[in-house]
Structure 1
Amino acid sequence: MAFYRYIRTGFWQDDFISELTPEEKYFYLYLMTNLKTTQCGIFILVKKIAEAELGYSRETIEKLLKRFVEYGKIAYSEKTNEVMLLNWMKHNFSDSRNTVLCINKELKVVKNKEFITTMYKVCLDNDYDVKKIFKGIDIKGISIEDKEETLEDEEGPCKSLEKKEIEKEKEKSSSKNNITKKNNNEKSIKKILSEFNKKICKATSRDKEKLKSWRRYFEEDVIIAAINEAVKYKARHIGYIETVINNWKELGLTTMEKLKEHRKKPDIGDNSCNAAAYEYVD
């Protein structure tokens, strides 16, 4: 099985990166692409291996680790030799089932529990599905399942009768709205799926799962626009579409209005990926 770590082409023009020394840029790239890296962005850095692969002395590696901790780009544990890339999930997360399962499996073997807590906060801030990502994982002595129960019981058992009645009315209204939203969402998914089948290929169950997950964040027309990007650049593959989608999500282009406004900006273009530069492995 092949493993890939994607680095955005805008990496080199990032304000932070442009201020680094060549030595620091090389080291940062190594942290993001070495063989020990993981989907969750937390991994064990074997300094002896890093010395051999980078050609740096142990002293230089330790100096660079300390420097990037000070820059606020990584967290490092001397006790467990684990590195956490603090912005990794923000730029590389995908809510596909396989990715979430992979992250969950990796987090279960992370030794530094402070990294787990930090990761939990990152996922909350970015509205990721913490229930699935942290399933069976203890966070500050409370498992994710127990944490949900605690939140539900915070108000105590003695709710007033009036409050209960108000909640019942809200539930009825919410139920009606949910049915309407569900019907509209199903129609939307069918339209997206139709476009995918027509322009890309017949969707597999895995393709359908991804299309549905994207609909949680994006308007229907934005996903169809991503499909059209794949057609435009002759990259008719779900992997290419996902790269475009992740790029737009990072830029906050979740609606057609935002996408159109973004495309109007000079010298930006449509931020599409170079299809010829990628090979996808199913």
Structure 2
Amino acid sequence: MAIYRQLQTNLWQDEFILELEALEKYVYTYLMTNPRTTQCGIYRLVKKLMELELGLEWETIYKILKKLMDNNKIAYCEETGEIMLINWSKYNFINSRNTILCINKELKEVKNKEFIGRLYTICLERNYPVKDIFNGVVVDGLKIENKEEEDFLEAEGEEVDSLKADKEGLSSPFEAPYKALGEEEIKEEYINKSYNKQKVTNKSISRILLEFSKNIKKASKDEIEKFIEWRKTFEEEFIIKAIKQAVKYKAKHIGYIESIIKNWAAEGITTMKELMKKFKRNKPRVNSEAYRYLD
């Protein structure tokens, strides 16, 4: 890879940067441009070299690092000596074969697994090709494998009815962990038994629970409560899409689903119509197969 790092000129107009003192700007810029930076934005920070290259004592450097950590600009692990630049991929990711191969190789060398999980979530949020980037990398105890799967991006306005697909004999790309529950079983087992004292209608979460049970597992009481709470704000299909995203990227647990929903909501996306517009905008204009670089 070329030995240079990209800094956008509008960095100096950023509200956070404007409030930093001169020495803090100096250290932050160093973190983004020093010789040990990587394409993935996670690298080992060598204290002695940092002191030498910056001409500062570690005590001074650490105070600035602490401020950057408190403002969620970096994450630092004293145990492994690694640092993560939180917004690195936002400004430096390039969807090219060489870049993805380089990031994949670097991630396999990262010791702090929490950093890997955090970057995985960021890549999901930004709709990056995670199957290629994290191919062979362990994320939250699960090894990501790059296999052919159906594209999540669908034509705007197209509705996918999973129940209808099952009846017509269409196979799912994912194997259910146990026998899928029917609509009536969902209603009785999840709602009538667990929530017989609450006014929860079949319309509220039955299809959500069905999708969750088919592709992930039987929902626990806490998970059902989350679905009920989300349903107060979001459409049924909206939540189902979040479940499908988690399944697609093999992040089969409620935490990732919640992260997906929160990130969509943070972007002001709360309806299926808005969500489909987002994916349509992010859909590559060239043949998607051209972006599958790894065997």
Tell me the residue number matched to 2:174.
Answer: 152
Q: For residue 101 of structure 1, what is the aligned residue in structure 2?
A: 101
Q: Which whole-Å CA distance do the structure 1 matches of 2:148 and 2:48 have between them?
A: 42
Number of the residue aligned with 2:4: 4
Query: What is the number of equivalent residue pairs in this alignment?
Result: 166
Greater mean alpha carbon deviation, residues 138-147 or residues 85-94: 138-147
Matched, 1:22 2:22: yes
1:133 counterpart residue number: 133
Q: 1:146 to 1:101 in 2, by over 3 A?
A: closer
CA offsets 1:57-94 (integer angstroms, 9 cap, x no match) = 11111111111100110000000110000000111111
1:156 deviates by: 3.6
Question: What whole-Å deviation, never above 9, does each CA across 1:3-34 have from its counterpart, x for those lacking one?
Answer: 11011010111111101100110000000000
Q: Output the CA distance in 2 between the equivalents of 1:106 and 1:112.
A: 12
Please list the CA deviations of residues 95-151 of structure 1 after superposition, one character each: whole Å capped at 9, or x if unmatched: 1000000000000000000000001000000001111000001111111139999x9
Identity within the alignment, %: 55
CA 1:70/1:113 → structure 2, altered by over 3 Å: closer, same or farther? same
2: distance between equivalents of 1:13 and 1:112? 32
Q: Which has the higher contact order (CA 8 A, sep 6+)?
A: 2
Change (3 A) 1:127 1:79: same
**Which position in structure 1 is the counterpart of 2:122?**
122
Pick closer, same or farther for the CA change 1:12–1:57 going to 2, 3 Å.
same
Aligned partner letter, 2:175: D
Counterpart of 1:57? 57
- Report SS of the residue matched to 1:145: coil
> How well do the aligned residues superpose, as a CA RMSD in angstroms?
2.8
Would the alpha carbon gap of residues 7 and 146 (structure 1) be closer, same or farther in structure 2, given more than 3 Å must change? closer
Write the deviation string for residues 243-278 of structure 1: whole angstroms up to 9, x where unpaired.
Answer: xxxxxxxxxxxxxxxxxxxxxxxxxxxxxxxxxxxx
Distance 1:216 1:96 in 2: 16
Supply the AA of the counterpart residue of 2:15. D
Task: Report the CA distance shift for 1:55/1:133 in structure 2 as closer, same or farther (over 3 A).
Answer: same
**CA separation in 1, counterparts of 2:102 and 2:88?**
15
Whole-angstrom distance in 2 between the partners of 1:85 and 1:146: 26
State the TM-score, normalizing by the size of structure 1: 0.54
Letter of the 1:129 partner, please give it: P
More helix by share: 1
Partner of 2:38: 38
Report SS of the residue matched to 2:145: helix
CA distance in 2, matches of 1:112, 1:147: 26
Residues 101 and 133, structure 1, Cα contact 8 Å, conserved in 2:
yes
Matched residues in 2 for 1:138 and 1:147: separation? 15
Secondary structure of 1:37's aligned partner: coil
Query: Which runs of structure 1 show a deviation greater than 3 angstroms over 4 or more consecutive aligned residues?
Result: 146-149, 154-160, 215-220
